[in-house]
């Protein structure tokens, strides 16, 4: 099977390259090759690689910047995603569109299932939701995979940020009233390959098992780092109101992943176990998180 990944430098794209299973050839298209904000050659660039499946792991992911840069976010997350899906459709190939927990408003008192009403609270979530709809319309075999709180041993993410700040400060203030499911990029990549083997059109949720808050996540990172002799700081839980950001985040963005298990036989690992593996990897790399 040949999988074409849109995006190369992102944490999910890199995990897909690292985790490619036996018998799966992965090719990537980087932003300079295919700029989703300035589409010209999507059809030709995708067609020439003759993929069996296309995974779109590229997106405008700067949640706060998107608030004042809506046109750019929309160009990538909506129109760009649509063009990729359409290019795959013309080859008869399914597209797997990576989407987000931020399509939800966050006011549900339980983890979200795929059929729950959406209601994004910011530009990023709105443009990703528009992308979901355009992708599904452009490619009848499309699978929309919503994930959440993605981290990796590389790239820009919460785990690395917390470790970097722990090396600079004795105490970290972290919001404790937003709930979610931390997801290790490696586990997400493994799940995406399972989906790619037998895609079933529709939406499916895919996030680390269990749930926590950002403060709980930070405490777990600090504990794991301390056990391994890495940087660690005290976590001071704070309310969202004490940490104002341009984009409003959902208070609850937990994802129920029962459908993933039912349709694809994929059980995501408990988030703490996955986090331990990631911290091990960062420790093995000498705690380079700058
Ligand atoms: N990170 C999370 O917590 C999270 C949560 C839920 C869902 N997701 C979704 O997961 C997917 C992957 O996210 P990630 O965490 O891997 O994000 P990331 O590390 O920020 O990577 C995003 C990638 O998109 C590429 N990109 C941005 N603008 C582009 C453009 N105009 N044309 C082509 N490529 C462009 C970037 O290219 P450069 O390398 O050139 O910048 C980068 O490779 C996205 O769909 C995101 O919405 C992420």
What separation in Å is there between the alpha carbon of 61 and the centre of ligand 1? 5
Q: What is the pLDDT of residue 42?
A: 87
What separation in Å is there between the alpha carbon of 157 and the centre of ligand 1? 11
- What's the CATH number for 2-157+182-211+254-270? 3.40.50.720
Q: Is 90 exceeded by the pLDDT of residue 41?
A: no
Q: What is the pLDDT of residue 36?
A: 95
Phi, psi (deg, nearest 5) at residue 84: -65, -45
Q: What is the pLDDT of residue 15?
A: 97
Q: What is the pLDDT of residue 290?
A: 84
Mean pLDDT of the chain: 96
Per domain, the residue ranges of the chain are 2-157+182-211+254-270
221 pocket-lining for ligand 1 (C-beta < 6 Å): no
Tokens 């959406």 sit on residue: 118
What are the tens digits of pLDDT across the range 147-198?
999 999 998 999 999 999 999 999 999 999 999 999 999 999 999 999 999 9
Q: What is the pLDDT of residue 89?
A: 96
What separation in Å is there between the alpha carbon of 289 and the centre of ligand 1? 19
10 pocket-lining for ligand 1 (C-beta < 6 Å): yes
Q: What is the pLDDT of residue 40?
A: 73
36 pocket-lining for ligand 1 (C-beta < 6 Å): yes
* Residue 275: closest CA among 230, 224, 231: 224
């Amino acid at each position: 099977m040949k999988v074409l990944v849109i995006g190369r430098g992102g944490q999910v794209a890199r995990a897909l390259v690292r985790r490619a299973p036996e018998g799966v050839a992965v090719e990537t298209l980087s932003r300079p090759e295919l700029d989703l904000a300035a589409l010209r050659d999507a059809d030709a660039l995708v067609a020439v690689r003759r993929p069996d499946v296309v995974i779109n792991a590229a997106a405008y992911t700067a949640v706060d910047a998107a608030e004042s840069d809506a046109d750019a976010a929309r160009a990538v997350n909506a129109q760009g995603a649509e063009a990729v899906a359409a290019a795959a459709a013309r080859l008869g190939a399914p597209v797997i569109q990576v989407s987000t927990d931020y399509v939800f408003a966050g006011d549900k008192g339980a983890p979200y299932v795929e059929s729950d009403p959406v209601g994004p609270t910011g530009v990023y979530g709105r443009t990703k939701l528009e992308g979901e709809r355009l992708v599904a319309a452009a490619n009848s075999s499309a699978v929309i995979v919503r994930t959440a709180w993605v981290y990796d041993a590389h790239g820009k993410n919460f785990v690395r940020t917390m470790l970097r700040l722990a090396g600079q400060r004795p105490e970290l203030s972290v919001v404790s009233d937003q709930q979610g499911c931390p997801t290790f990029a490696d586990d997400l990549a493994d799940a995406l390959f399972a989906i790619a083997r037998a895609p079933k059109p529709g939406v499916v949720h895919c996030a680390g098992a269990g749930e926590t808050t950002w403060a709980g996540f930070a405490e777990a990172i600090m504990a794991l780092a301390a056990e391994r002799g890495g940087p660690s700081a005290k976590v001071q839980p704070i309310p969202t109101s004490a940490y104002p950001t341009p984009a409003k985040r959902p208070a609850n963005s937990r994802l129920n992943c029962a459908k993933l298990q039912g349709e694809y036989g994929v059980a995501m690992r408990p988030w703490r176990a996955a986090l331990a593996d990631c911290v091990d990897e960062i420790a093995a790399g000498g705690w380079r998180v700058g």
